[in-house]
């Protein structure tokens, strides 16, 4: 007797069931009560900050993806989570969030709805928790779309978040994950059915989401160039650049990809970078790196986010280079895509020599035109006037001064940027936000408006100067 095979549900049907569960969970969520909302957010933070969980998820992430290193991922899982929790606990997001009696305004925070969070393989634990914390802070539910490469880690992360929610009496379905195996069709179905899509990862994913018809927050590609100015503390600059470059084997979009050094301190600065662990490739070694770094117009997966010893071996560098922490290649001018000016996601740092500060600014802008426009730049200098010039003349959202980019760009305890793992680049990067992703992206605001004493200036006060100069 023949047995008719049961029809498997489509991607649209699977996602529709998850979205329905998310809406039910939101109905049960006490998202009118800021204390209960904050408790849920804290629960999510603890699920990954707990020391044994932070290590377990870091080890899983490296095993799953082959990207980065365990110690760095433990820091990501804890530092980013702690900093984000600090920021979120300082904000009101539900009910009355602000009153301005002098302006006749009362502001009410309300959920945006079900959030679809597309997450990258580079941070398969930290990014899902980071986005989930922000989503629930706004009273929303979230469905995570993992990278296929990081699925096991992300699924475990979601399991831990759900367990903590259950512990404190919140609906577990406030946080869900797409079932495996995840593919583009499933992720696209999610993006199309949620109320807000928040996409971190490949620019292809960002573009597809932006074209889906769903309100989308996407982030731009990183490719951070940093200037070492003539007045910089060279040792301090080199140590910060090195620490930032090697963190998680350069997986971060905020990792320095190029350093532009002023001519009068060039050799001294390169020597400081060597002292900090950099290997200065000669012309032959540079050619070997170039041949190996890109394969068929794509970054070679054998070197993406790999340990320095592995990277040196793949490049065919000498034995002593395998003791280095990162690898420097010197370029006379900025090239194009799939060259040393492009984002490298590896322990390769491109060095440029600028005859003066004006040329340094030009080189930085040229690098960003290749990849990374809108994202970030940095400068090591004792002259704040130079930092201000760079900020005024460069189309980026962030200019970091005397900081290690990877540790400051996504928020720091010694700067005012919000903690995040997703950074917008404004319209320069084709993004809808020109800020670090933060709780404000996850709420709608209703404004209760009452009358105030009339605020109507005279015609003379508004037009007088124009009339005097050009006539009526």
Q: Catalytic residue numbers?
A: 253
Give the Cα-Cα-Cα angle 461, 467, 472 (nearest 5 degrees). 120
Specify the residue for token string 């634990």: 125
CA distance 417 to 425: 14
338-359 burial, b if ≥16 CB within 10 A, otherwise e?
Answer: bebbbbbbbbbbbbbbbeebee
Of 335, 410, 390, 379, which is closest to residue 80 (Cα–Cα)? 410
Contact 362, 225 (CB under 8 A): no
Specify the residue for token string 């797409």: 178
DSSP collapsed to 3 states, the chain: CCCCCCCCCCHHHHHHHHHHHHHHHHHHCCCCCHHHHHHHHHHHHHHHHCHHHHHHHHHHHHHHHCCCCHHHHHHHHHHHHHHHHHHHHCCCCCEEEEEEHHHCEEEEEEECCEEEEECCCCCCCHHHHHHHHHHHHCCCEEEEECCHHHHHHHHHHHHHHHHHHHHCCCCHHHEEECCCCCCHHHHHHHHHHCCEEEECCCHHHHHHHHCCCCCEEECCCCCEEEEECCCCCHHHHHHHHHHHHHHHHHCCCCCEEEEEEEHHHHHHHHHHHHHCCEEECCHHHHHHHHHHHEECCEECCCCCCCCHHHHHHHHCCCHHHHHCCEEEEEECCCCCCCCCCCCCCCCEEEEEEECCHHHHHHHHHHHHHHCCCEEEEEEECCCHHHHHHHHHHCCEEEEEECCCHHHHCCCCCCCCCCCCCCECCCHHHCCCCCCECCHHHHEEEEEEECCCCCCCCCHHHHHHHHHHHHCC
């Amino acid at each position: 007797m023949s047995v008719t095979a049961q029809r498997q549900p489509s991607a649209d049907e699977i996602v529709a069931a998850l979205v329905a569960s998310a809406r039910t969970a939101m109905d049960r969520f006490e998202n009118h009560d800021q204390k209960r909302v904050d408790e849920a957010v804290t629960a999510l933070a603890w699920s990954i900050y707990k020391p044994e969980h932070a290590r377990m998820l870091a080890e899983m992430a490296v095993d799953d993806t082959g990207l980065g290193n365990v110690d760095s991922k433990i820091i990501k899982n804890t530092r980013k989570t702690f900093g984000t929790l600090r920021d979120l606990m300082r904000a009101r997001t539900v009910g009355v969030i602000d009153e301005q009696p002098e302006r006749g305004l009362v502001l009410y925070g309300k959920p945006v709805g079900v959030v679809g969070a597309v997450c990258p393989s580079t941070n398969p634990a930290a990014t899902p928790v980071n986005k989930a914390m922000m989503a629930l802070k706004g009273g929303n539910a979230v469905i995570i779309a993992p990278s296929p490469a990081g699925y096991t880690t992300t699924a475990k992360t979601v399991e831990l978040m759900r367990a903590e929610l259950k512990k404190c009496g919140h609906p577990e379905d406030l946080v869900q994950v797409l079932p495996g195996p995840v593919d583009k069709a499933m992720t696209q179905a999610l993006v199309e059915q949620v109320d807000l899509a928040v996409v971190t990862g490949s620019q292809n994913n960002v573009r597809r989401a932006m074209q889906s018809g769903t309100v989308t927050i996407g982030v731009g590609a990183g490719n951070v160039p940093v200037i070492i100015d003539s007045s910089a503390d060279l040792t301090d600059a080199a140590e910060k650049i090195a620490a930032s470059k090697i963190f998680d084997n350069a997986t971060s979009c905020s990792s320095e990809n190029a350093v532009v050094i002023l001519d009068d301190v060039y050799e001294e600065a390169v020597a400081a970078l060597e002292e900090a662990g950099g290997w200065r490739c000669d012309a032959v070694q540079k050619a070997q790196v170039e041949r190996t770094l890109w394969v068929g117009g794509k970054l070679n997966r054998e070197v993406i986010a790999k340990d320095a010893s592995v990277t040196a071996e793949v490049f065919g560098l000498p034995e002593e280079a395998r003791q280095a922490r990162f690898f420097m290649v010197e370029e006379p001018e900025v090239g194009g895509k799939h060259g040393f000016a492009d984002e490298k996601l590896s322990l390769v740092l491109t060095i440029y020599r600028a005859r003066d500060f004006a040329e340094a600014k030009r080189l930085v802008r040229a690098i960003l035109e290749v990849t990374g426009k809108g994202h970030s730049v940095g400068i090591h200098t004792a002259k704040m006037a130079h930092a201000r010039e760079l900020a005024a003349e460069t189309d980026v959202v962030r200019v970091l001064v005397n900081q290690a980019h990877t540790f400051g760009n996504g928020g720091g305890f010694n700067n005012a940027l919000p903690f995040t793992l997703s950074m917008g680049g404004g319209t320069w990067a084709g993004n809808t936000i020109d800020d670090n992703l933060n709780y404000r992206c996850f709420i709608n605001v209703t404004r209760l408006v009452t009358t105030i004493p009339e605020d109507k200036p005279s015609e003379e006060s508004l037009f007088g100067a124009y009339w005097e100069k050009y006539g009526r």
